[in-house]
Structure 1
């Protein structure tokens, strides 16, 4: 099985919109990726675009821990940009810009998750 890319490499791949990359053809994903990347605490997490969302995972694949996907995420395609808890458990809020959505995710990260 090929080794999974590290977190910094995945951010780079998403920002460059490399062909064949998950979400590379979705124009409305890039501004959200850029805004999330600007947040150091999010930049420390594994970015995972899927089904119209940008999720932030606790580590790189393969995921063996049950809590790898328990952080808030952004539903892109806005404005508004919706931020939910894991599993769409609760709408944490709506944001007018990708930067506001990223900040909302950061404000709901557990203490000690990512750099201060």
Structure 2
């Protein structure tokens, strides 16, 4: 669970309304011949326009923009199929986790962000290029230091919890903050599954799960379990700090530092 919202697909599910014809929804893109060409046209007058490459299978809906920095994957730009809108997603090279994302109906704004990504602008400066850009909280780590990757993921998780708009956002955020404040848990690589906080001895993409699961409940309590199936067999607690203390108590002894997951 990451990011500001849906990452649009190019198909549609059975039972959903048939999406409009792409050329009807995006006549300017169709006239340009591809999303990549439309991005270049939208950036006309901007020196050093970023080169964009369209997908061979969906040229009106998908384009990528390479970065001059070796530790960035190409920025992905996708068009929605049920309404006129574009989404962006920029990742690092190792974990395929988003550094930036966002969605907008302004193609010129997408072109500005694409150029900033291509030119190697700092993440904060990319966010300044267009108001729709969302920084996930992760920071760039060119040399893939596992400790830094772990710290980056904790920062992203805290950012995500702060950005949530669910009714139980405060309960979930309190759990994330309490877990981060506990040194033995903070030293582990965090990840979530179905809103359950879990820990690993290795980074993404090859996780090595260790220790209990922590979850915030809709009634404001906090549960600790040995597995997601047994989600509260280690106790249910009134405060996040009690739950975190119980989780830390049930960690195996002698855990080493986090290593790269491959």
TM bracket, shorter-chain basis: 0.7 to 0.9
Shift of 1:24: 4.8
Higher relative contact order (CA 8 A, sep 6+): 1
Taking a change above 3 Å as real, the CA distance of residues 55 and 35 of structure 1, as seen in their structure-2 partners, is same
Unmatched runs of 5 consecutive residues or more in structure 2: 1-72, 74-92, 96-137, 139-148, 258-262
Shift of 1:31: 0.9
Distance 1:88 1:40 in 2: 26
Distance 2:220 2:190 in 1: 20
Equivalent residue of 1:17, what SS? helix
Q: Which residue of 2 aligns with 1:104?
A: 246
Distance 1:52 1:82 in 2: 12
Q: Which residue of 1 aligns with 2:33?
A: none
Distance 2:150 2:159 in 1: 14
Q: Which residue of 2 aligns with 1:75?
A: 215
Equivalent residue of 1:79, what SS? coil
State which of 29, 37, 40 in structure 1 corresponds to 2:172.
29
Distance 2:158 2:228 in 1: 25
Q: Deviations over 1:67-89 (max 9, x none)?
A: x1242011213532110013434
Aligned length: 108
Equivalent residues in 2 for 1:54-65 (5 A)? 54-63=197-206
TM-score, structure 2 length as denominator? 0.37
Distance 2:256 2:242 in 1: 18
Alignment check: 8 A CA contact 2:213 2:224 kept: yes
Alignment check: 8 A CA contact 1:41 1:114 kept: no
Higher-Rg structure is 2
Q: Which residue of 1 aligns with 2:225?
A: 84
Taking a change above 3 Å as real, the CA distance of residues 47 and 103 of structure 1, as seen in their structure-2 partners, is same
Q: Which residue of 1 aligns with 2:8?
A: none
Taking a change above 3 Å as real, the CA distance of residues 94 and 114 of structure 1, as seen in their structure-2 partners, is farther
Q: Which runs of 4+ in 1 moved over 4 A?
A: none
CA RMSD of aligned residues (A): 2.5
2:143 counterpart of 1:52: no
